[in-house]
Structure 1
Amino acid sequence: MEAINEWLLASGDLLWTWIVLPVVVVLGLYFTVRSDVMQFRLIPEMFRTLTDKTPRNADGEPQSVSAFQAFTISAASRVGVGNIAGVATAIAVGGPGAVFWMWLMAFIGGASSFIESSLAQLFKTRDRGSFRGGPAYYMERGLGARWMGIAFAIILIVCFPFAFSSLQANTIATTLTTTMGTDAAWVPWAVGVGIALLTALVVFGGVRRIASVTQALVPLMALVYLLLGLAVVAINITEVPRVFAQIFTQAWGFNEVVGATLGYIIMTGVKRGMFSNEAGLGSAPNAGASAAVTHPVKQGLVQTLGVYFDTFLICSITAFIILVSVPDLTGASQGIDLTQEALTSTLGPWSNIALSVIIFMLAFSSILGNYYYGESNIEFITRNETALTLYRILAVAAVLLGSAASVQLVWNLADGVMGIMALINLVAIGLLSPIAFRLLKDYTAQRREGRDPIFTRERLPGVGGIECWEDELTVTGPLDVVTRGSQARKHGTHPGATGHRG
């Protein structure tokens, strides 16, 4: 087992260092320049579209989940182990300078997140009263490469609902075991059974149940965690200038405390940052595609905001909790233990219990978000109900087994698989990015005219594979299909109408 773990670690480092990282940086910078730095320029639009009204059908019901609910589904996957345990690991092995590279990559990655989520919206499909889509869908419909979509879907299923959900469950079990002050072997299994049962209750209820749970859990737990973090920072306010100085100065050179070189500091910050905010990874577009919006760019903007929410708020508060409380990182623990030690050293033992509750809620919501990503891709491969049921069972089993698994092995497996998945998605969005830039141009033109942008597929002549976005009535959703058809014929706008009565 140790040999497998070492091989996974070495292979993952090679993949990230020589292939994934250069592609991530080059494409992110290209998207930033081509979009006129939209990830900064359109920040006000991100907040405006987050609260957009959801188009409704003829019965007055939402066409699918809202822009905000899609945001919380993606945030559910983003906000979890990566923000609390992952950031702590990055600081322990890369020093404070790793935080700077997490921030920088979040900003650059914001453009990549915009491209992938806008494309996911454009090429989404209807599915049982909601929408479904993601990278596999735009690979098939936009690039005409179903084989590429299937390869991506398989890797995502291995990566998110299996590997990453196992990590989330493992973190919950580790945190509760530490809080209880016991090392009994039965505790992780008992925790795993409880998490697995809760997961099964939600995931067998479909995307709307997942959305309703994450909509409640994510904002509340994120707010509580931010308040805890701000309390730690306020108590150690005199340490804040030192922390900022460490973050910026140690980002550029050797860190003598943890023995990290510049390359290792950058690599650690980028990998842990990408694991946390998922920009360009190809995961968040699966949630972004589920939203009912009137223009694909709206959800692209919302998902860019999700990257910022994850990194600049949640990851940063973890970093400051640790760095203001633990000025000397020599021999520091890795993962969740470091965050726990930092909290309890400032706020006392009660904060350990509070953190356990927060981690449970955030990690559980991440499991739900990860599950939804996998379901979307299972249904891309096959619509067989038996296959979907089998997937649900395996996803629940992964949560159970992950609670007692070797965490280092799972981390290294997840890192390697994530690198392959990111590479496939980045190639796809690089090839399809001209379409996303046309969407952005259409959106900004409508905004300059003072309109709330509405997209129809006729606004992208020459682009095939678009199933939805038939006409404005379909997009805004006030009428059912029969009524739309009769009204169109009445006004002579139906595709079969000639404009005269003959």
Structure 2
Amino acid sequence: MELLESFFGLIGDLTWGWALIPFLVVLGLFFTLVTGFVQFTFFGRMFRVLLNKNQTAAKDAISGREALLLSVGGRVGGGNIAGVAVAITLGGPGAVFWMWAIALVGMATSLVECSLAQLFKRREDDGFRGGPARTIIHGLGNDFRWLAYLYTVCLIASFAIGFNAFQGNTVAGAAQDSMGIERLWTGIALAVGTGIIIYGGIKRIAKVADVIVPIMAIGYVAMAIIIILINITEIPAVIGMIISNAFGWEEAVGGGMGAAMAQGLRRGLFSNEAGLGSAPNVAATADVTHPVSQGITQSLSVFIDTILICSCTAFIILLGDVYVPGAEDIDGVVLTQQSLVSHVGNWAQYFLTVAILLFSISSIIYNYYLGENALTFMTHSKISLHTLRIIVIGIVFLGAVAPGATAVFFFSDPMMGILAIVNLLALLMLFPTLIRLLKDYKKKLKEGAEHPVFNPDEFPDLDIDHEAWKSK
């Protein structure tokens, strides 16, 4: 076991330790510049595409809105509550500024990866399937099949298995600490709920996300707005503190600007997942008129996750009197919880527990779907699919009832580092194709199309599934 831990620790050091974060930042800046700042030029269309009522033509597919909410549900999780608190504790208030910065850059990366996933999606018996693995095979060719398989193995191991154990653990811990509910009962409830949802397939998963995500997002944002209004006179000072600390003008923790930047970038990337290749698996399931259309919509999920939800947690903490600059001995969830209580009273701890529950459920079903999608790339065996479902249900239960068991899944972060590097390399190699796709979308907009329609016949050199686009 020690040998395995050392091995995966080395992988983690080689990816997240020094290579991956600069890689993500540099590529995000590259995508932003070369695409002409798409995250800003198309910002208005993010909402227009989302509100288009005619996005779904196929009965077995999900709409662009459902795909967006499912990906938001996956991105928004414990990192938005505990992760932001940890970033502020270790990096100071300036970490929030760098979270905002990486989110704006990540919006372009998300548009690129999700548009390509849509372009190379495949129509199968149960709807559309796509994602980085299929993008690699159909975009780069069979010579890169090994890379696609490496990606799928890492995706299943990290998201479907490892991260779901942590989600179960987070919910059970919060329920026990604030409500006194035994971990066993929380584990049983989570396992049963997870089973009911995931055995309904992508349609049921999307429908559940369509209900849960708006409730959890609107509820949490509303709470933050109330706290901001209560402390409205303090807002200018808090924003000034964030900016001054971000550039080292006002040092809140050891390390100054370096600590703020490192924590902000790291936590921001972990939270919004832009460039990691996870969201494209969901983006490809949507039935939309043009690949870039869903790319634009998916970049909105990065904005919602970091600029909106993470900022809510940041202001809840920084407007309170619980946070002490330089104090590193407080748990992230506890800091957020105590800050909420300091603003509105003891009932807020129960509110936060419910929020964590909803965040975690949406993440569990999202993580499961990523694993299912990866599995169908390797095999369409019904037995394999049922086995994965049983494993995920068991992992969620295990993570909830045995908190120490999550230590077994130490491989999750290193495996996610590998799949992120694989995804980014594929995006680089396919970037010329993305530029062609983007030019096609912009051309049709200039011709007066309110919602540009993709015609695969205009790209005869690409391995595109015409069945996936014939309804357009």
Corresponding residue number in structure 2 for 1:372: 369
Corresponding residue number in structure 2 for 1:25: 25
Question: 2: CA distance between counterparts of 1:67 and 1:202?
Answer: 20
1:362 to 359, 375, 387: 359
Task: Give 1:413 shift.
Answer: 4.1
Question: 2: CA distance between counterparts of 1:91 and 1:32?
Answer: 27
Corresponding residue number in structure 2 for 1:440: 438
In the alignment, structure 1 residue 475 sits paired with structure 2 residue 471: yes
Corresponding residue number in structure 2 for 1:328: 324
Provide closer, same or farther for how the CA distance between residues 173 and 448 of structure 1 changes in structure 2, counting only shifts above 3 A. Answer: same
Provide closer, same or farther for how the CA distance between residues 5 and 342 of structure 1 changes in structure 2, counting only shifts above 3 A. Answer: farther
Q: Is the 8 A contact 1:332 1:338 kept in 2?
A: no
Q: 1:227 corresponds to which letter in structure 2?
A: A
Q: Is the 8 A contact 2:179 2:350 kept in 1?
A: no
Question: 2: CA distance between counterparts of 1:221 and 1:164?
Answer: 20
Higher gyration radius (CA): 1
Question: 1: CA distance between counterparts of 2:68 and 2:97?
Answer: 25
How large is the Cα RMSD of the aligned pairs? 2.3
Question: 2: CA distance between counterparts of 1:26 and 1:263?
Answer: 17
Aligned residues: 466
1:227 to 207, 222, 226: 222
Task: Give 1:371 shift.
Answer: 0.7
Q: Is the 8 A contact 2:56 2:64 kept in 1?
A: no
Task: Give 1:365 shift.
Answer: 1.1
Q: Is the 8 A contact 1:169 1:402 kept in 2?
A: yes
Structure 2 unaligned runs (5+)?
Answer: none
Corresponding residue number in structure 2 for 1:338: 335
Give runs of aligned pairs for residues 15-94 of structure 1, distance below 5 A: 15-54=15-54, 62-94=59-91
Task: Give 1:257 shift.
Answer: 4.6
Q: Secondary structure at the match of 2:128?
A: strand
Q: Is the 8 A contact 1:456 1:475 kept in 2?
A: no
Provide closer, same or farther for how the CA distance between residues 406 and 98 of structure 1 changes in structure 2, counting only shifts above 3 A. Answer: farther
Q: 1:424 corresponds to which letter in structure 2?
A: V
Question: 2: CA distance between counterparts of 1:333 and 1:32?
Answer: 37
Q: 1:174 corresponds to which letter in structure 2?
A: G
Give runs of aligned pairs for residues 39-438 of structure 1, distance below 5 A: 39-54=39-54, 62-144=59-141, 145-181=144-180, 187-253=182-248, 257-325=252-320, 326-329=322-325, 330-331=327-328, 333-403=330-400, 404-406=402-404, 409=407, 413-438=411-436
Deviations 1:424-459 (A, max 9, x none): 110111111111111111011101111121112122
TM-score, L = length of structure 1:
0.88
Deviations 1:398-420 (A, max 9, x none): 11122233498479643322222
Task: Give 1:5 shift.
Answer: 7.1
Structure 1, 196-205 or 407-416: larger mean CA deviation: 407-416
Structure 1, 71-80 or 416-425: larger mean CA deviation: 416-425
TM-score, L = length of structure 2:
0.93
Task: Give 1:127 shift.
Answer: 2.0
Provide closer, same or farther for how the CA distance between residues 345 and 414 of structure 1 changes in structure 2, counting only shifts above 3 A. Answer: farther
Q: Is the 8 A contact 2:78 2:360 kept in 1?
A: yes
Q: Is the 8 A contact 1:28 1:109 kept in 2?
A: yes
Q: 1:236 corresponds to which letter in structure 2?
A: N
Provide closer, same or farther for how the CA distance between residues 407 and 2 of structure 1 changes in structure 2, counting only shifts above 3 A. Answer: farther
Q: Is the 8 A contact 1:56 1:63 kept in 2?
A: no
Q: 2:265 corresponds to which letter in structure 1?
A: V
Task: Give 1:258 shift.
Answer: 3.8
Q: 1:245 corresponds to which letter in structure 2?
A: G
Deviations 1:227-246 (A, max 9, x none): 11111222222332222122
Deviations 1:24-58 (A, max 9, x none): 1221111111100001111011111112234565x
Question: 2: CA distance between counterparts of 1:93 and 1:231?
Answer: 27
Q: Is the 8 A contact 1:115 1:436 kept in 2?
A: yes
Structure 1 unaligned runs (5+)?
Answer: 477-502
Question: 2: CA distance between counterparts of 1:256 and 1:355?
Answer: 30
Q: Is the 8 A contact 2:11 2:414 kept in 1?
A: yes
Q: 1:378 corresponds to which letter in structure 2?
A: L
Question: 1: CA distance between counterparts of 2:237 and 2:14?
Answer: 34
Corresponding residue number in structure 2 for 1:459: 458
Question: 1: CA distance between counterparts of 2:80 and 2:134?
Answer: 29
Q: 2:464 corresponds to which letter in structure 1?
A: I
Q: Secondary structure at the match of 2:471?
A: helix
Deviations 1:106-164 (A, max 9, x none): 11111110110000001101122411110011011101122111110110111111122
